[in-house]
Amino acid sequence: MRKHYIILIPLILFIFMQGCGLSGENHSQTANVDNIKTIVINHDSTNLFLRSADQQNMEASYSKQDITMDEEDEQITLGIKKDLINIGPKLNMNDKFEVTIPDEFEGNLVINGSSGNVSSDQLSTNNLDIETKSGNISISFEDFHSDVHAVTTSGNIDLLLNEEYPDIQLKSKTVSGDEMINIPISADESQDEKEIEDTAGKGSSEINVTTISGNITVR
């Protein structure tokens, strides 16, 4: 009987660590983006946090699993390595996937997910494309000058432009949610309140946001 206990104890510890993702490491990837035109991030059901920084390299880190990175044809693709086995309780202990984009990156940033949320703080991009199924999208820009395309099925979309008088062409649509547009546009009263299309300023940047059952906020 004692031998059985000796075998079971390490097995139980292994199952627990698989479930909690406790590896004692902060798995990370780093890449130079000088000649990169597109960065693709596939975050699946994991929450993704984006930031911009005054640095040369892109950095990605995730506290639970290894990050995959492929570079081909001027494109970098980031993802989360799948578990070979999936057992034990899934406890979100410091569960986060963080990606830092250099301020000088002028290419396309493409985000694909399922149920994970996407958020940012002081993000600086030129072209941002986000698609998720049931995750919320909450993006705060530092110096807004970006085209934005954001689509979610049942999540909310919140864009903080941090620009009092932005130059944008706005297209926003929700089926069963509410829209709150807190930027100076001259919305036509005849427009459907669930679908807004208008221009602010010179309209130099395009914002196209769509959700089925979520709310939309642009401010």
Hey, where are the domains in the chain? 2-218
> How much is the CA Rg of the chain, to the nearest whole Å?
21
Give the DSSP letter of residue 87: -
- % the chain with pLDDT above 70: 79
CA dist., res. 134 & res. 131, Å (int)? 10
- Mean pLDDT (whole number) for 37-59: 96
- Mean pLDDT (whole number) for 16-26: 43
CB atoms inside a 10 Å sphere around CB 37: 14
Say if residue 138's pLDDT is above 50.
yes
pLDDT tens by residue, 85-122: 444 444 444 478 999 999 999 999 999 999 999 999 99
Question: pLDDT confidence of 3, banded at 50, 70, 90?
Answer: low
CA dist., res. 121 & res. 129, Å (int)? 16
Cβ burial of 130 (10 Å; 0-12, 13-18, 19+) is: buried
Residue 29, both tokens: 């990837």
Q: What DSSP string describes 103-119?
A: TT--SEEEEEESS--EE
